[in-house]
Chains A and B, each alone.
Chain A
Amino acid sequence: MNQTKSSNGLFFTWLGLLGISILIGLFAAFKLLTEGHHLFNANDVLIWSLPLGVYIYLALTSSGLTLLASVPLVFGIKRYEPFAKRLVFLAIGALLGGFVSIGLELGNVFHMVYILLSPNLSSPIWWMGAIYSLELVVLLIKFQRIHAGDWDSRLSKWLGKVGFLCALIAPLMIGSVFGLTESRVTYFGPVMSIYCLFMAILSGSALCLLYNLIQAQVTGNVISGDKDALFKEFTRIFTGALGAVIILTLIKFFIEGSTVIPEFLNYHKYAQAFGSIAGLNTEVILGLFLPFILISIPGLRHNNSTRILTCALVLLGTLAMHMEILLAGQSRPVGPKAEQFPDVISYYPSSWEWMVFLLAVAVMLLLFSLGERFLKLESTPA
């Protein structure tokens, strides 16, 4: 009785904290709508800043979660089913958080109707928006079907397949938004799409593991038997994704370090926004290499504290890596803008940008918390 009361108290305190964060974020949203985006520390050289980085991060994480959910829902691997409903819900929450962030990044969100009324099919941004919107709708209907106990009807299976395709293509579209720019070769062209897909799987699997481990700890559930075996499998997927991103990152470093293309030579002047350790970017050392080493040590691999630490490091590291790439590619003025702006632009998010970040994350966490409490996220097919 007392335990339930104390757990309720903690839950409502948590909701209160999220409520305050959302109110702060809504105040920032009001200021942005009424005063404009000069409140951001962005300018006509460094055009996209923290809110866009947060959108990329959350949208990719959502895609990663949807891809993981597809393992049982599309490919029919039954032993993963205990995770499926929660994964779909986490994907919805992460994507809605991302949409909050991109909505407040846009200069005129009320003109969004023209995305439908006047679509430009040659625009990667249009495709990115269209596919993520479709993904959200499909995930919502899929979740509703699962919640109603319909796991295997034709409609439910079809929704799963469409969701999987969306989650596969959307990260490629995010990558092409950057990769298709003629003026910014440092975004690595089409390779950026592949990179985004692997980053999606990495951050999705990290959030999946971290969330489930924390959920188990908070609710006092013991991870044993089949569930423990599943955690081990998710850890393997996570480690594989981590290894793939490390390889891509190393290739990127080698190319950047050896090329003499002027844009890359200039790029080095801003390439370490978060500092460096032994010449390598801090976020790569702490967010990729260190977690990979920790999770590769046999004695630590299946220890829950190690898993929580590595997932948390990876989630922070991938956000920092997205920001690093985003900022470094915009750090120098293009053409005559060099007349107005310094040679290299320095950046630190403004308090308004942090408030947008807070709003996006708080919306996501609020959804996670309410879903966990009221939507029986562990249910499986009858």
Chain B
Amino acid sequence: MPRYAMVIDLQRCVGCSACSIACRNENNVPDGIYWSNKLTETSGTFPNVRYHYIPTLCNHCENAPCVRGCPTQAMHKLDNGITMHNPKKCIGCKYCEFNCPYGVIYFNWTYPHKEWKNKEKVLEGTTSPAEEVAKTSGKTLPYYNPEREDTLAGIRPKGVVEKCTFCDHLVKRGKLPRCVEACPADARVFGDMNDPNSKVRQLLGKFRPFRLREQIGTEPHVFYIRDFNPANYQPSKGGI
């Protein structure tokens, strides 16, 4: 059985957020919820200043606190290591969200994609955007992806949590997660940790990877390698 993992090469990542947009489209993610997100940080003071950008997603931890804490096993592990959620079992206690050390689980506080259900007319005598979309596409959401329904509710209902699933519905069919496919810089590499010849294993052997908040023992399966830094300096021993 494979154990899936992702390696993110920070030297290749340009911070374009194509991963986040692709994820949103693939998984019908509502506004305010981010399955694919980023950490940004500015260090130093001008002119000696740097901007750091780290893409984030569910880490599909080996020792996932969200899975351990979920009272109904709605949050569970698949045999391939993916941390999956079943909204039909979710009681909306939000403990997984409270317990996640990475801030990658979100709660549906209201009906998702509410804005596309608004029947308010733009002007008197005209139609509403929601009506137009329904008339033209037959769907509530113009960019709705029905493939998501293979393994999870296409749109998750209000009152339950949701998060990245490593696009398990695509992986099941032998395809790569959407964020990996969409990355224009090939900064995301996906594969099987159990296969010694897989690209992820090669990269993890070749570079010294780090993971987010490794010290708490959750064993994340999203690894980061390298860093992008164009800065240079003249050799110096400093001074007093």
Contact = CB atoms under 8 A, between A and B. Distances in A.
Given A36-B109, A37-B109, A106-B93, A183 B100 contact: yes
Contacts of A259: none
B31 to A, nearest CB: 11
A177 B101 CA distance: 15
B216 interface: yes
A283 B13 CA distance: 49
B159 interface: yes
Interface class of chain A by DSSP: loop
A123 B72 CA distance: 9
Contacts of A115: 71-72, 91
A336 B56 CA distance: 7
B139 interface: no
B22 interface: no
Contacts of B110: 35-38
B159 A36 contact: yes
Interface in A119-146: 119-120, 122-126, 129
A129 B69 CA distance: 13
Contacts, number: 148
B92 interface: yes
Contacts of A38: 109-110
Nearest to A184: B98
Contacts of A35: 110
Interface stretch (A59-67, A300-308, A337-345): A337-345
Nearest to A180: B69
Interface in A181-235: 181-184
A196 to B, nearest CB: 16
A118 interface: yes
B73 A120 contact: yes
A114 B69 contact: no
Contacts of B72: 111, 114-115, 117-120, 126
Interface string B94-130: 1101111111101111110000000000000000000
B38 interface: yes
A339 B108 CA distance: 18
B38 A339 contact: yes
B88 interface: yes
17 contacts: A36-B108, A36-B109, A37-B158, A38-B109, A106-B159, A107-B93, A118-B89, A120-B72, A123-B95, A125-B93, A181-B98, A183-B216, A334-B103, A336-B34, A336-B39, A336-B104, A339-B37
Interface of A: 35-38, 40, 42-44, 47-48, 105-109, 111-112, 114-115, 117-120, 122-126, 129, 177, 180-184, 330, 333-340
